[in-house]
Homo-oligomer: A and B are copies of this chain.
Amino acid sequence: MNWQKVLADNGYRVSGPRRLVMQLLADSVQPMTPLEIYQALSQSGRDLGMVSVYRALELLTELGLVCLVYKPDGSAGYVAGSSGHHHHILCKKCHCAITFAGSEDLDSLVKRVEAETKFRVSDHLLQLYGICPECQEKLVDSAEEN
């Protein structure tokens, strides 16, 4: 199911700005803020308003086509989102973000916390932070130079 179809099936048009934002995020390995998105598109000659970036992001997020992720410093950015239950892992070095599938791995934790707190858990926010394979390589290389 491609993103154009998701838009169409929900009664939305595949407009220029939406296409630009979606494609940019799909091509980017790093989460981007609204301003970064606007600047990247402007600089590559696309003419669109900041407002359209906000609106496109809002809609695409609502439809699950992009996700809001939190960087290690607490600031937020958008990434193209895969379908299904998933989470993100972010590299602290190069700031790339990739997804991993959600699974029943959290079940035992959720059960424990429900017992402890008497909450009924319905949902969660989970992100991992670390160093991506490429940046691990670079760290090894620079260590060898010494």
Chain A residues near B (Cβ < 8 Å): 68, 70, 72, 74, 76, 89, 91-92, 98, 100, 103, 105-106, 108-110, 112-114, 116-133, 136
Contact = CB atoms under 8 A, between A and B. Distances in A.
Nearest to A133: B118
A107 to B, nearest CB: 10
Contacts of A98: 117
A125 B129 contact: yes
A50 B132 CA distance: 40
A71 to B, nearest CB: 10
B126 A113 contact: no
Contacts of A136: 118, 120
Contact of A112 (B105, B120, B129, B131): B105
A132 B114 CA distance: 10
A117 B132 CA distance: 8
Given A119-B89, A136-B120, A113 B131 contact: no
A119 B133 contact: yes
